[in-house]
A = this chain, B = another copy of it.
Amino acid sequence: MNRNRSSSFTTTKYGTMSRYSNNKIDSFSENEDTVPIGSLNILSAKYESLDYEVVENFVYRDEERKKGYQYVVKKNFVRWIIFFWIGVITATVGIIIDLSIENIADFKFSHVKQYIEECNQKNCLWRPYILLLVYNVVPVLIGSTLVAYVEPVALGSGIPQVKCYLNGIKIPRLVRIKTLFIKVIGVITTVVGGMCGGKEGPMIHAGAVIAAGISQGKSTTFNKDFGVLNYFREDNEKRDFVSGGAAAGVAAAFGSPVGGVLFSLEEGASFWNQGLTWRIFFASMISTFTLNVVLSAYHGHPGELTYWGLLNFGKFNNFALSYEIFELPIFVIMGIIGGLTGALFCHLNYKLTVFRMRHLVSRWKKVLEAILVCCSTATVGFLLMLWRNDCKPSGLDPTKYAVQLNCNDGEYNYMASLWLQVPEASVRSFFHDPEESLDVATLVYFAIAYYLLTIWTYGLSVSAGLFIPCLATGAAWGRLIGIGVQFIFPGADVGKYALIGAASQLGGAVRMTISLTVILIEATGNITFGLPLMICLLTAKWIGDYFTESIYDIHIQLSGIPLMAWDPPPLSSNIYANEVMSHPVAVFKSKETVGQIIDTLKTYTYNGFPVVDGIFNLDSEESYCNNYKPNGRLRGLILRSQLIVLLQNKVFNEVPSAWDNVSLTTFRQDYPRYSNIDSIEILESERHYTIDLLRFMNPSPYIVQHMASLPRIFRLFRAMGLRHIVVVNDSNEVVGMVTRKDLTRYRVWRHRGTLGVVELRISAKL
């Protein structure tokens, strides 16, 4: 089951395949040893799958026999309680983030504004500039240091990582409470530090951590096990809760409970379960509601419930969002622009990320870059304020920190007020500010500056999301187009075009179409505007996909994470299981010696081992025709984690006392972090003891025959959320194993109207 051997085997096979197939699959014939940095066509060998399959072994059946239906009812009830708390606590975290940012930013901007007003006359504008720098650099330094040195998985928005987790990939430390702390501090510092980042994406990650934390009744960070809820200590149960948490995060971030549910489904669960979906919806509703109640009360309107999410688009009036049919083509054009700018965004950020992977590897460099971007952002903003004298009469100052900078008395500098507020507020300004207040030039400069700064910011060692900066950029150029439309059709509302622009820009970058439409509908609070939003998002997605992958997918591919696609590669039914699988397979006999188990676990890194009878069945003729050695008749499948638990607890046939204490709880004790095989101490005398694997193995793992096609294996794997599929021959003898990496190796690309399949390389070095 040597990976390299297996891979070269299939490459050879492809040579044979393509002779009688028109559909050539590009395969990499480069030297296996070089891993070009920035390649999107390499899978990292280090990512493992989650175990969604319930192992129905004797121990499990034993436990089930002891419990009555009452237990099922109770467990179900507890699930609802947990989802309730996921909603409440996610909202609480959202509130903490929101209020911290609001208060710190308020303090900062008031202080800076005061200095600017003082210095405007005295020609000492370097003083507020320095002040702004200090106010920005200090928090960003804290945040980026924490992310770089303490918990790198808290980097960015966390959306790609949560997406991978829901897809079934184990991302180490993703859902630990420590990560949540770093993330919360990171988001607050980033937004307060004036960088082009939002607080919404990280809420999704926060929700996921909270869900994982509550549902497990223990915390690795605090080294505390409350001993409760241990029946939820399984990957499949945990994933259900995490999808609820992610949804609750979306709900809190955007005030969008339905959008939250759709996000979780779009990015995560392949199997739609009515009961689960309803619980996810419940958590989302509770989350939105809690946030709303608290924020409304905080802002002095208890009971009015007008704060639907962290992101607040402000109130569009009904007139603003009505549209005529002739406007639909304009929305399509804006979608095209969004798709193009989005694709360019992805491409430039990809180049930048590759540069970072090459040259900014050490932690201090990462922190330094964050500081550099932070200073640049402040400088660009400050220079634009000074340079663009966009003076407006003071009556029209809808922004909070209007300053007179370079303007006459009774006027204020609009460009300055755009930069002297948090990005969300700028988005609202573009949506709602009166027509007179925003000049064309101001919009152009803002859009370009913000677009470039956002590209530079995403992927930095700070915690921040992409939603708000994209929305701000898009809103700026959308409003520009609105002003253009007004020339032709006077009376058109520019705010509406700003909204469409914002949606197009965001859609062009992230390409999350269904949930994003619903999120924006809910954030806008207006259902009638759904069709225009959908049209522009769909156009932006199509145009963007024509050129690049989504920004999230690019980062996932750069990390070599084996994300499963939704569908098997097209026209691949002539690829058979024996070309897909890894082999030969390390197997165990049904009654295996401890020594053999330990040696095998130490030799191989695999996580699942078939249990077989009669290794090397030489009589079986057909096996040899197919060029691979069969490994005996399949009896079941045992997991590495189970073997480790068995060894740790010394559940040997020769030690009868150990048998009494073996129950499901024994196996759940260490979930999800089992010991390493090297740390397990076994006496030399015990190496000859045996373990009865029949009792603990999964007696009926999912299997496919060696004649099964790639699409068939793929669908089985995807729909059932599997980690291992055993490949058997006609006599039910094990001939290979299929894992996630074997399947994700075949990746479909769709660019510029064509489509193809590329075979990725798997490397342990990425």
Contacts and interface: CB of A to CB of B under 8 A. Distances in A.
Interface of A: 20-23, 54, 56, 60-61, 64-70, 72-73, 257-258, 261-262, 265-266, 269-275, 277-278, 281-282, 285, 288-289, 293, 303-305, 308, 322-325, 513-514, 517-518, 521-522, 525, 527-528, 530-531, 534, 538, 566-567, 570-571, 573-574, 577, 613, 633-635, 699-700, 702-705, 707-709, 711-712, 715-716, 719-720, 728, 730-732, 753-756
B514 A277 contact: yes
Given A323-B305, A731-B633, A731-B731, A69 B570 contact: yes
A623 to B, nearest CB: 12
A720 B715 contact: yes
A703 B574 CA distance: 20
B273 A271 contact: no
Across the A-B interface, give the 10 residue pairs with the lowest CB-CB distance, nearest first: A700-B708, A732-B732, A719-B719, A72-B570, A272-B272, A303-B324, A699-B707, A69-B755, A56-B573, A700-B705
Contacts of A258: 258, 262, 518, 521, 530
A384 to B, nearest CB: 36
B700 A704 contact: yes
Nearest to A259: B258
A293 B517 contact: no
B305 A514 contact: no
A274 B522 contact: no
A67 B528 contact: no
Nearest to A325: B303
A72 B571 contact: yes
B69 A278 contact: no
A22 B719 CA distance: 32
Contacts of A522: 527
Nearest to A701: B705
B322 A305 contact: yes
Contacts of A274: 266, 514, 566
Nearest to A77: B753
A272 B265 contact: yes
A573 B60 contact: yes
B22 A65 contact: yes
A518 B258 CA distance: 8
A70 to B, nearest CB: 8
Contact of A566 (B273, B285, B531, B715): B273
A150 to B, nearest CB: 35
Given A278-B513, A303-B324, A716-B702, A567 B266 contact: no
A281 B517 contact: yes
19 contacts: A20-B65, A22-B65, A54-B711, A61-B573, A69-B571, A72-B570, A73-B754, A258-B521, A265-B277, A270-B272, A281-B514, A285-B530, A288-B531, A293-B325, A305-B528, A525-B527, A715-B720, A728-B732, A732-B732
Given A66-B22, A571-B69, A308 B528 contact: yes
A278 B514 contact: yes
A708 B698 CA distance: 9
Given A270-B271, A274-B266, A720-B716, A285 B69 contact: no
B530 A527 contact: no
Contacts of A577: 700
A530 B266 contact: no
Contacts of A61: 573-574, 709
A298 to B, nearest CB: 15
A97 to B, nearest CB: 22
Contact of A281 (B257, B271, B527, B534): B534
A79 B324 CA distance: 28
A38 to B, nearest CB: 26
A166 to B, nearest CB: 12
A702 to B, nearest CB: 7
Contacts of A517: 281
Nearest to A62: B574
B56 A712 contact: yes
Contacts of A513: 278
Contacts of A277: 265-266, 514
A271 B709 contact: no
Contact of A272 (B271, B720, B754): B271
Contacts of A527: 308, 521-522, 525, 527
A754 B72 CA distance: 9
Nearest to A257: B530
A274 B269 CA distance: 10
Contacts of A712: 56, 700
B73 A571 contact: no
Contacts of A699: 705, 707-708
A699 B304 CA distance: 63
Nearest to A266: B274
Nearest to A274: B566
Contacts of A23: 64-65, 68-69
Given A265-B272, A303-B324, A731-B633, A22 B531 contact: no
Nearest to A280: B514
Contacts of A303: 324-325
A573 B64 contact: yes
Given A61-B573, A716-B716, 20 more contacts: A22-B67, A23-B64, A23-B68, A56-B712, A60-B573, A61-B709, A64-B574, A65-B574, A68-B571, A69-B755, A73-B755, A257-B530, A265-B265, A278-B538, A281-B517, A282-B538, A305-B323, A525-B527, A700-B712, A730-B732
Contacts of A754: 69-70, 73
B732 A64 contact: no
Contacts of A571: 64-65, 67-69, 72
A700 B709 CA distance: 8
A707 B700 contact: yes
Contacts of A261: 514
A345 to B, nearest CB: 22
A633 B730 contact: yes
A602 B705 CA distance: 31
A553 to B, nearest CB: 13
Contact of A269 (B266, B272, B322, B634): B272
Contacts of A633: 730-731
Nearest to A523: B527
B20 A56 contact: no
A715 to B, nearest CB: 7
B64 A271 contact: no
Contacts of A720: 715-716, 719
A79 to B, nearest CB: 13
Contacts of A702: 716
A290 to B, nearest CB: 11
